[in-house]
Structure 1
């Protein structure tokens, strides 16, 4: 029987076109849920005034957001596998936007914990895990790049909201800002989610890729019994702690350093730094994901994590120079945000694609632990010592430890593991 080569080429072209469409939809969904985490630091000062609480008590809200975003992610991954990506991710975008709208209506800190931390965390977790798990299936030979692109949506999405949120907070107040932007996030995310779908069971995607053939496909319980998984979990926890300390505390320590309102390049230093951070935090995810696809996961981890350690050290030493504070903040995030492309790609390379959504949900819980250490615990350390030096010193030490773990421990252990489990 003859085969029409033009027809086959057309099918392959359609599949290629579809996977890029899926990447675009996923990118928009991630951008729609990014502000609850990445604009949080702008909300801390007005919230402290509105609820009459100190920073450690308020930062519990941020930790709850990340904990619920991460600790329920394995269960959310199972729901996505069962009900489908479009339905669950659509629900997640609505919950995330609704968390801001409801936060504008509450008057007690406990209710803020419930709606901003609880509802927002559940919503963002569904979207994050669902989108990452979906795109690594569409791009089996470019997992690092694909995971990096959609993770960039989460890191860079707040670029378009940082200055508008800052302006609206100054001119219309906290509650109006939360309501307007919450509604916007819900609408944009819901519309983007309607285009999502799983790849076909056969063809030019996961099942047909030679990298997947012969690889053992680990279920979550099987993966959790492997010491290699827990090594990755600890490493991601260390890096999450370092990055989330900066994300959640930046408005406070920039004020303490005396640079938050200094005019740099015609703009206030803090919102300018936050905007630059969102760009580099997004750029680093596909950039280092692409590099890791070409040159290896662990080598790329070492370079990226060491870069953050050096940048944070210089940042601390130059903390009273507003220009350097802005520029180095971008380098810090360039060395941190890539964990959200490198770790999911490494995990899928190691434990297979079939259960990638649920498996990444298990690893993603590490960010929840990092949010506690980098949020309220870091705030308590500062409150106890009356200095940011021990807080920054701890974060820098974690960066250095994780960089060397990647190269000296993770790489040889993972190589031996893959030799045992790949035919």
Structure 2
């Protein structure tokens, strides 16, 4: 989804419409992601990850195929329906199911677990960006991604969407075959739940999704996620033109379009890395201090970006990359934060409801930035001064989020579920990994728990490593001109 900018201009040219009209596709997908995650979270918890991921794969792949039909027939509404609505539903269901599953597998490292799950969502752009560009060049040899203004033909866009739809479906079906939830009562070797619960912020009970909505903690975390995401989208939405505008002198930018594309790739890399690094760090320092860093340090970086960001390309890139790492880390840390506050009983459903904050931020972030920039002048003529008002607005939002995070306290026991229903809840029982069951299940290593699937898991890890390695090498080479001139 984060790779849509690669073919956005080609879609604008093909449909003969505006950037705003094509941008609506991205907004619809984000809104549907949040709504489907919120409405389908309980269903995911009840039916298990395999059915959820199968549903996600079908919707996401079908969304691209319907979008391809819209491109072929030049019907923009079909692109909205396919990529936006149908694909967005697949995104929402697919986003929450691995998070809930990995939290159950890694109760000793929930931050690491959620970081691994959500890192894939941010890291997808590392792979999809060069692959999409390569596919458009394959289907339309006249297209050159390194040339500013080059756009792919309608036929190339149809080929791109069909290839991506079928490719995503195949890869996701491989994941469907592998995914399992742990046996009832399973826990990793050496894990002592009582040690983890010594923290005042970690609950000793479980809260249902419906009860979570009645707690002030849920709504405080909603504000925290909304402000962090809105601020991150502020850079992500305008990354390429922003770096060119900051270094524009006499109407000409010293940052070439190709180098600006490398900057977008770097942001994707730090977005992905932040999801793993910062969420894993939260296992050590705690979720609340981690969000203090995201929001507090993030606000300071936005102030510096607005005031001194135009003095050096390297400094601008460094600050923007750290901000985007906080943006990604915020997504990855919040499921572990929810797990600490509400337990694991229906954490996937609670996470789904919280993602409505992402939907709201997906609308608010671009609206804030575009409103300020539209009032400043035409694209391609703006300078650093045009960005000061929107960036300081983001600072204000981050301060609000910082205060909301400081107000978070442990959930009152009156919201906890009785022990019986939680222990009896066999969420996804038909999809459990082979192994001991029951509350007194012996401790196991993850290798033992996955049993005969270890070979296929190794294949999956090799595939992911190769694809990510390809993306990192491609983006690093594209970003080098930023530092070498």
TM above 0.5, one fold? yes
Instruction: Give the whole-Å Cα distance in 2 for the aligned partners of 1:258 and 1:191.
Output: 45
Instruction: Give the whole-Å Cα distance in 2 for the aligned partners of 1:329 and 1:45.
Output: 24
Secondary structure (helix, strand or coil) at the match of 1:318 reads helix
Instruction: Give the whole-Å Cα distance in 2 for the aligned partners of 1:195 and 1:367.
Output: 29
Residue of structure 2 equivalent to 1:391:
390
Task: Select 1:297's aligned residue among 281, 287, 299.
Answer: 287
Structure 2 gap segments, 5+ residues each: 137-142, 145-151, 378-385, 420-485
Alignment partner of 1:153 is 2:120: yes
Q: What's the CA shift for 1:319?
A: 4.5
Instruction: Give the whole-Å Cα distance in 2 for the aligned partners of 1:232 and 1:134.
Output: 21
Residue of structure 2 equivalent to 1:201:
184
Contact 2:221/2:404 (<8 A) preserved: no
Q: What's the CA shift for 1:79?
A: 2.0
Contact 1:129/1:361 (<8 A) preserved: yes
Alignment partner of 1:368 is 2:359: yes
Instruction: Give the whole-Å Cα distance in 1 for the aligned partners of 2:302 and 2:225.
Output: 18
Instruction: Give the whole-Å Cα distance in 1 for the aligned partners of 2:346 and 2:415.
Output: 20
Residue of structure 2 equivalent to 1:126:
93
Residue of structure 1 equivalent to 2:320:
329
Contact 1:104/1:179 (<8 A) preserved: yes
| 1:102–1:254 distance in 2 versus 1, CA, 3 Å | farther
Contact 2:34/2:92 (<8 A) preserved: yes
Residue of structure 1 equivalent to 2:232:
243
| 1:78–1:318 distance in 2 versus 1, CA, 3 Å | same
Q: Which has the higher helix share?
A: 1
Contact 1:305/1:336 (<8 A) preserved: no
Task: Select 1:382's aligned residue among 359, 367, 373.
Answer: 373
Residue of structure 1 equivalent to 2:431:
none
User: For residues 339-354 of structure 1, what are the structure 2 equivalents within 5 Å?
Assistant: 339-354=330-345
1:183-234 CA-to-partner distances (Å, cap 9, x unmatched) read 2222112212211111111131699833579822111111111111111111
Secondary structure (helix, strand or coil) at the match of 1:218 reads coil
User: For residues 8-407 of structure 1, what are the structure 2 equivalents within 5 Å?
Assistant: 36=1, 38-106=2-70, 107-169=74-136, 170-171=143-144, 172-173=152-153, 174-204=157-187, 209-210=193-194, 211=196, 215-254=204-243, 256-257=245-246, 268-316=258-306, 317-319=308-310, 322-376=313-367, 378-386=369-377, 387-406=386-405
| 1:183–1:155 distance in 2 versus 1, CA, 3 Å | same
Q: What's the CA shift for 1:137?
A: 1.3
Q: What's the CA shift for 1:245?
A: 3.0
Instruction: Give the whole-Å Cα distance in 2 for the aligned partners of 1:238 and 1:307.
Output: 14
Secondary structure (helix, strand or coil) at the match of 1:357 reads helix
TM norm structure 1: 0.80
| 1:344–1:416 distance in 2 versus 1, CA, 3 Å | closer
* Root mean square deviation of aligned Cα: 3.1
Residue of structure 2 equivalent to 1:409:
407
Instruction: Give the whole-Å Cα distance in 2 for the aligned partners of 1:71 and 1:416.
Output: 25
| 1:203–1:331 distance in 2 versus 1, CA, 3 Å | closer
Structure 1 gap segments, 5+ residues each: 1-35
| 1:253–1:111 distance in 2 versus 1, CA, 3 Å | farther
Secondary structure (helix, strand or coil) at the match of 2:238 reads helix
Look at both structures and tell me which one has the larger radius of gyration over its CA atoms. Answer: 2
1:142-161 CA-to-partner distances (Å, cap 9, x unmatched) read 11111011111111121122
